Chains A and B, each alone.
Chain A
């Protein structure tokens, strides 16, 4: 019996030496960068964060990065190479933000490439959104001094990133004959608008609420009555790819790699925004009822 046990021990030992005990925790894939950024028609300089994928958790924040970034304008074939800059962020971490010196053109498509020295690339593209038709309805009064106005944009299927109203006024400062009081609509409730169907997006301008804000922005007293020349709306709209799953930017969901990414050969997101604007003039009657002065009258 002891021989049997001895043989068993030897067999077990032989078996053991033939067993692999190393483990590779990484899936080997040809993805090397994450990119985060967007093209903005409102600026001549574009910004793109490039994060090299690491195999160590500790981010050493290396000053060098083996990456070159290019954007190619499909319509013209022009290629812009972006400049690297090393940024120290508020949390002490260091990252690479590339700067592209060009202003994108609405409706055009830009191909982004992040290229390593050995030629492997992470790629993405974006088409700059173009302004759609807009319909500004007549103001509606629901009380003596409570007025709102519906502005409906066509071919918009998602909530804009930003909605600004400007009220062009005069008579508040001798040094600035004309001033724009810019009211930024908060990202709460339906202030940024809501869909109507048929890819129409409607924003309700609250003339009454904005009126109080205008005097505040102008630094005028509450009973001041500046002359109102016109009203304008600026909508900052993202490109068609910039739509989160379920229509919600839920960080806990979108952090999952691949749930919201248009980068091939990498992770992250590359998009674009454009500003759509429309201006209109309120009727003298509405202007006065809202507590403004009508230009040309006293």
Chain B
């Protein structure tokens, strides 16, 4: 690691901050939080402007925490205006004095009590199916509500799996592959806390029910310097704060899950809580409907306390706990007399964290201090006697600062993470038997965002990560450029990414989602370079198209060793790879009557193996193959129609077949390495594989439909009834085919669903 380069970088940062602070001597900053007057929720995307007497305009928009800052404003008197569609506009006069930073918080009142649909439209200004910017897609609850779901309370994962470039295993397993990446290469953050496997074992559900979400920023690649430690993607999810004015809540029942949500003020107007609990009821619900065993159960518990400490500070404490149990695959070596596999996977996440936002009175900056503890446990094997267990504990502290300098926001931060990674893998899994590792990571990043008057925003970044105990350090340059010009938006993103803490799993067996987390071997740290180029056009209101291409270069990946021994787990070997593709999206409608979107994604993921066995077999130095998550074509169509208070949601998904290993059959292998007595040597069972992943499973497609209606049953009480069909035309989609028994495990058949939700708003 060339230390002098890092030193130079920080010297430049210091000089930059010093000179910009000095340069603002005759100007000042106005800043604050914008919340919903009804419930105290922060409102993202609100326009805040200052208009001078001579017509000069200064402005900003609130971020996901409802924070805004307008800086480098010359002293003087201005018209201060806060506008957001669907809310009453606030207009006032402010006088700004030199060197006096003004903090002004605003509560916006809804303009019309019957503007539910308008709110949808508003929320879609910065979100929407065709609103992707250099890999970033912002998802809001209103988007999620468009997707048919087996649960009356929608779930984030249902929307994610409808996005182009995101490949799921289907309706079980809870694994997401984003633009060629593996599930363990996705960074999932909930209010700044890392969650290792927040997707439930039944693929319709995650730990993120729609009604606890504020926004979810999904970076399918090219993410900025604020994020690191993963190769593929980032899902940065922020949750709502509880209602600060009154107690509200909801309870629902459906064939898969029952939910309860409560929220309300602890100190009216200042401190609120939000709690949500969900528990699967598959045994009593869906299993009875389809009359076949669905050996899954899951649940999650979420809680958040949010406090406004004063006009310049907010504190939130968030906790979450999830647990999942399921029997996914088929293990012929571990079946009972009925041929039912007894291998079971269990996993659980526990995380708690705090976030403090504050605005120092004398500095034009926004500071966020985060501390969190995350724990992940995973077991796999016979019921009650797991063969393999793994556990990760991670404690993180981070400081993220945004320094406002005129049209430039200088984002920088420091982070410290301490992890304990433990695994007991029963001797035959990924070269690891028992292991216990402790890892410390320290680092910093800087990422100024330069805004130019022509709608051009340039965001170069640099991230430094260091693992002192491993003697590894990485410098990762990043870049994001967005240019909005009229109805057009051009975007570009790229960067270098490393993943020191690696999830090991055996992707050959779709039923085995066990993941052991460990530190990558020294010198073999998985690395990726991303490049994304995007274009979006919105010619008229309610119509948008976007196109985006991506390329990811992957090196030093750890993939299962190629072997003909019928092991259910195996050792690891290194591989390089590439992922490339593009997606096209179109969205029409404004949410009032009809909202629809269509997306198509093409991608190609190729790994390159230098396994000696494959080299000998093929005579090639490097053998290219498509890993089992390489879905070449993906098509999604969604439509939401509102007629006479009935909401009809339809989604159709299509995916071309995923790669799988074909074989020539089975035999026994005897290693003739000496004068072997074939009368005595029984040999070992062998699968007669050819090249890796030469076959393609059948295409996947399915249509889901739901119809719901909300009925007012009291002044603030509402009852929602939902009916739906999952896999409406009963497509026999394959989850996976067990090569050893030729037994296929299909995804869920057609399932009629009925849901009931009682809500107090």
Contact assessment for B639 and A5 in the assembled complex, using a CB-CB cutoff below 8 Å:
yes
- One of A38, A95, A242 near B682 (C-beta < 8 A): A95
In chain A between 9 and 25, which residues have their CB closer than 8 angstroms to a CB of chain B?
9, 12-13, 15-17, 19-23, 25
In chain B between 217 and 236, which residues have their CB closer than 8 angstroms to a CB of chain A?
none
Contact assessment for A5 and B686 in the assembled complex, using a CB-CB cutoff below 8 Å:
no
Min CB distance A164 to B, Å, is 12
In the assembled complex, which residues on chain A have CB atoms less than 8 Å from the CB atom of B687?
Answer: 57
- One of A97, A246, A260, A269 near B679 (C-beta < 8 A): A97
- One of A13, A27, A90, A97 near B664 (C-beta < 8 A): A27
Count of chain B residues near A, Cβ 8 A: 72
Min CB distance B683 to A, Å, is 7
Chain B residue, CB-CB nearest to A29: B664
List the interface of chain A (C-beta within 8 A of B): 1-2, 5, 8-9, 12-13, 15-17, 19-23, 25-27, 29, 31, 34, 36-38, 40, 47-49, 51-59, 87, 89-91, 93, 95, 97, 161-162, 187, 236, 242, 244-246, 249-260, 267-269, 271, 273
Task: Convert B672-715 into 0s and 1s, putting 1 for each residue whose CB lies closer than 8 angstroms to a CB of A.
Answer: 11111111111111111110001101110101010000000000
In chain B between 525 and 581, which residues have their CB closer than 8 angstroms to a CB of chain A?
561-566
Chain B residue, CB-CB nearest to A236: B675
Contact assessment for B698 and A23 in the assembled complex, using a CB-CB cutoff below 8 Å:
yes
In the assembled complex, which residues on chain B have CB atoms less than 8 Å from the CB atom of A21?
Answer: 698, 731-734
In the complex, which of the residues A38, A51, A271 has the most CB atoms of chain B within 10 Å of its own CB atom? Answer: A51
Report the Cα distance A87→B668, complex, angstroms: 14
List the interface of chain B (C-beta within 8 A of A): 332, 561-566, 593-594, 612-614, 616-617, 637, 639, 641, 643, 648, 650, 652, 660-690, 694-695, 697-699, 701, 703, 705, 728-729, 731-734, 737, 739-742, 744
Report the Cα distance A93→B668, complex, angstroms: 11
Contact assessment for B680 and A90 in the assembled complex, using a CB-CB cutoff below 8 Å:
yes
26 contacts between A and B (CB under 8 A): A5-B641, A8-B639, A15-B701, A16-B731, A21-B732, A22-B698, A23-B737, A25-B662, A38-B675, A49-B668, A49-B683, A53-B666, A54-B666, A56-B742, A57-B739, A89-B680, A90-B680, A97-B678, A187-B674, A252-B561, A252-B563, A255-B686, A257-B689, A259-B613, A260-B616, A268-B667
Report the Cα distance A108→B674, complex, angstroms: 21
Given A19-B698, A27-B663: A256 touches B675 (CB 8 Å cut-off): no
- One of B561, B652, B732 near A8 (C-beta < 8 A): B652
Chain B residue, CB-CB nearest to A89: B682
In the complex, which of the residues B674, B677, B740 has the most CB atoms of chain A within 10 Å of its own CB atom? Answer: B674
Seed contacts A27-B690, A236-B675; 10 additional CB < 8 Å A-B pairs: A21-B733, A25-B739, A34-B668, A56-B666, A87-B679, A254-B613, A254-B671, A256-B617, A257-B617, A259-B617
In the assembled complex, which residues on chain B have CB atoms less than 8 Å from the CB atom of A268?
Answer: 667, 670
Min CB distance A262 to B, Å, is 11
Contact assessment for B667 and A54 in the assembled complex, using a CB-CB cutoff below 8 Å:
yes
In the assembled complex, which residues on chain B have CB atoms less than 8 Å from the CB atom of A161?
Answer: 674-675
Given A36-B678, A57-B332, A95-B682: A255 touches B669 (CB 8 Å cut-off): yes
Contact assessment for A49 and B662 in the assembled complex, using a CB-CB cutoff below 8 Å:
no
Contact assessment for A59 and B731 in the assembled complex, using a CB-CB cutoff below 8 Å:
no
In the assembled complex, which residues on chain A have CB atoms less than 8 Å from the CB atom of B664?
Answer: 26-27, 29, 31, 53, 257
Report the Cα distance A56→B613, complex, angstroms: 24
By Cβ-Cβ distance, the 10 closest A-B pairs, closest first, are: A249-B673, A89-B682, A57-B740, A256-B613, A36-B670, A49-B678, A53-B665, A34-B667, A259-B616, A13-B729
